Structure 1
Amino acid sequence: MGEFGLIEQVTAGREQSPGTLLGPGDDAAVLRAPDGRVVATTDVLVEQVHFRLDWSTPHQVGRKAVAVNLSDIAAMGAVPTGVLVGLGCPPDLPSSVAEELVGGMWEEAQQVGIGVVGGDMVSASSLTISVTALGDLQGREPVTRSGARPGDVVAVAGRLGWSAAGLAVLGRGFRSPVAVVGAHRVPEPPYAAGPQAALAGATSMMDVSDGLLSDLGHIAAASEVAIDVRTEQVEVPQRLSEVASALGADARHWVLTGGEDQALVATFPADRELPEGWRAIGAVAEGSGVTVDGFTYEGPSGWEHWR
């Protein structure tokens, strides 16, 4: 089919959002930027590292590739405006796989009312997906990792531990429970919770991509504070407990250290009411590092490449 035939196939008939002034087909896309600032983020997904096509359909992989980027936009307190896709494909990849991939990307983008505004396709030795997401702050200041203050409440929005449980199930050769496996295949980021947190006065925020404790460590380091997670406030869903029991695993470990659920974690002033959908799980104090019930957590706190 060739590069340009494939591009034509995956872009034909797609509708763009009103904020896209010029979509695919030119040297670059043109988007509105009413705030005067653009929030931008990129993630790269590589086959056999971030996904396996014997575990997930191309459509599911496409949705996940966009979701992990849009959650970063939400974590800044912004709303998405568009995504750009770089796709590296082996020469023998069936065009139907690429079409399903991009179809999943479009479906996830349309969850927040945007489209795939452009990108690039190249030959590669393994299937590689690079997505760049763009966002708008709507006049607000970005919510960064460096604003947490002693006395703040730590809270989360979205699911924790489900993707890790699904990965454990798939790693054992099973394909059910469907809800758990599905959580690993396609995350469900709480996109609206990011701007809601910004409006509610969140002092810091990020998405949980590598594990709750690991990502809280980034907030603690950037803000130069200590964070303590209180296990009595951290929900362990009954379904995860059942799966952990069947696999001889620890469901609480999944919740505390599992990544790829793309939940959001933020800190809020103690005198502010948490927005709907957010739940308190800990507190910020003077000091450094992350603890669980006042103690250092034993074992890995999350995922880190090359370690």
Structure 2
Amino acid sequence: MTRPRPLGPRDDLADSVRVVGEFGVIARVLARSGSAAVAQVGPGDDAAVLRVPDGRVVATTDVLVEGRHFRRDWSSAEDVGHKAAAANLADVAAMGGVATALLVGLACPADTATTWLEGVAAGMAAECAPLGAAVVGGDTVASAPDSGSVVLSVTALGDLGGRAPVLRSGARPGDVLAVTGRLGWSACGLAVLRRGFSSPLAVVTAHRRPTPPYAAGPAAADAGATAMCDVSDGLLADAGHLASDSGVVLDVDRAALVRATLEPPGPLQQVAAALGADPLAWVLTGGEDHALLATFPPSVALPDGWLAVGRVEEGEPGVFVSGEPAADVAVAVGAGRTGHVHFG
């Protein structure tokens, strides 16, 4: 499989941001951005105007920095667009909402190819389209001359559709802990890319373009989920946030988690065998799949796609795996820590 070629000074400077100019870039990007169903006034003015049927707006922001969140020699422009949009759209779903619009801030070197930026816009549009969302505005600036990196700051807006927002702070002792979506696939794909390979394609693609279960968030809210969060930094790490905010203990059932994520055997076990790794390390601590983690009252039937993987208990807030402290389990499976640590 051919890797996307890095962009830089070697590219056609006639197509660069420096030559095309800010408004030329904006025009090209907007031509690929699609339209948002809620937009009364779309891109092009000082600000967009959106209809808010629910009367409340869900808002969330993520920043993606080249070299930390993506590499242009590993991912195509469309991949980067999909990934940047997905990271934000998943956060809206984790509140029980449906994303309606994106605002995008872009900082890039002056020699960045406009065709690359068009690809990013196309990837974002494709990720948003099934939800009826689109980019409705933003800003473009030149990055620091000595950085040479692209930075994308994406803000997602969403609608709750009359539902109460599902917070991280609502889990109660006796609740069922459940997950939906992939776990460990993006981390596995990253491990493959770091070793200079591009297969199995399934896990590499999972790293380049995560597939969050967007519809599962509102479905969980409708079913009575008591707490929910997006798994972006790792299952154990994000479970720790939920446990802390709710003041409870989360005990992940190791056997149930393995059944939910590693059976039947697939590419994670294939890669782990080749690398001498434990696939459970990726499942427990790998981020950027943007699965959803939630708690439900025991009397509630879990919505389609949700699988029970543990329980909520009383006690000093923390996370355990079949009774063992999460940090100890992370070390035992070779992960070292429970998930991604910003500034770590």
When normalised by structure 2's length, the TM-score is: 0.88
Aligned counterpart, 2:107: 88
User: Which among 285, 309, 320 is matched to residue 291 of structure 1?
Assistant: 320
**In the alignment, residue 293 of structure 1 is paired with which amino acid?**
S
Deviation at 1:111, TM superposition (A): 2.5
> Does the 8 A contact of 2:97 with 2:158 survive in 1?
yes
Where do residues 232-251 of structure 1 align in structure 2 (5 Å cutoff)? 232-234=255-257, 235-237=261-263, 238-239=265-266, 240-251=268-279
Q: 1:141 to 1:92 in 2, by over 3 A?
A: same
| CA shift digits 1:181-237 (9 cap, x unpaired) | 000000000000000000000000001000000000000000000000011101314
Structure 1, unpaired ranges of 5+: none
**In the alignment, residue 90 of structure 1 is paired with which amino acid?**
P
Q: 1:13 to 1:96 in 2, by over 3 A?
A: closer
Residue 158 of structure 2 corresponds to residue 128 of structure 1: no
Structure 2: how far apart are the matches of 1:259 and 1:182? 14
**In the alignment, residue 323 of structure 2 is paired with which amino acid?**
G
> Does the 8 A contact of 2:175 with 2:312 survive in 1?
yes
> Does the 8 A contact of 2:231 with 2:287 survive in 1?
yes
Aligned counterpart, 1:254: 282
User: Which among 280, 303, 306 is matched to residue 340 of structure 2?
Assistant: 303
Aligned counterpart, 1:177: 200
- What CA RMSD, in Å, does the superposition of the two structures yield over aligned residues? 0.9
Aligned counterpart, 1:43: 62
Where do residues 2-151 of structure 1 align in structure 2 (5 Å cutoff)? 2-12=21-31, 14-124=33-143, 125=147, 126-151=149-174
Deviation at 1:95, TM superposition (A): 1.0
Residue 236 of structure 2 corresponds to residue 213 of structure 1: yes
SS of aligned partner of 1:265: strand
| CA shift digits 1:255-306 (9 cap, x unpaired) | 0110000000000001110000000000000012000010113230000111
| CA shift digits 1:105-139 (9 cap, x unpaired) | 11111121211111111101310001000001111
When structure 1 is superposed on structure 2, of 3-12 and 140-149 the one drifting more is 3-12
How many residue pairs get matched?
A: 307
Deviation at 1:13, TM superposition (A): 6.4
SS of aligned partner of 1:280: strand
Structure 2, unpaired ranges of 5+: 1-19, 332-336
When structure 1 is superposed on structure 2, of 118-127 and 266-275 the one drifting more is 118-127
> Does the 8 A contact of 2:85 with 2:128 survive in 1?
yes
**In the alignment, residue 306 of structure 1 is paired with which amino acid?**
F
Structure 2: how far apart are the matches of 1:148 and 1:111? 30
When structure 1 is superposed on structure 2, of 193-202 and 4-13 the one drifting more is 4-13
Q: Which runs of 4+ in 1 moved over 2 A?
A: 12-15
Structure 1: how far apart are the matches of 2:342 and 2:33? 35
Aligned counterpart, 2:211: 188
SS of aligned partner of 2:36: coil
When structure 1 is superposed on structure 2, of 210-219 and 5-14 the one drifting more is 5-14
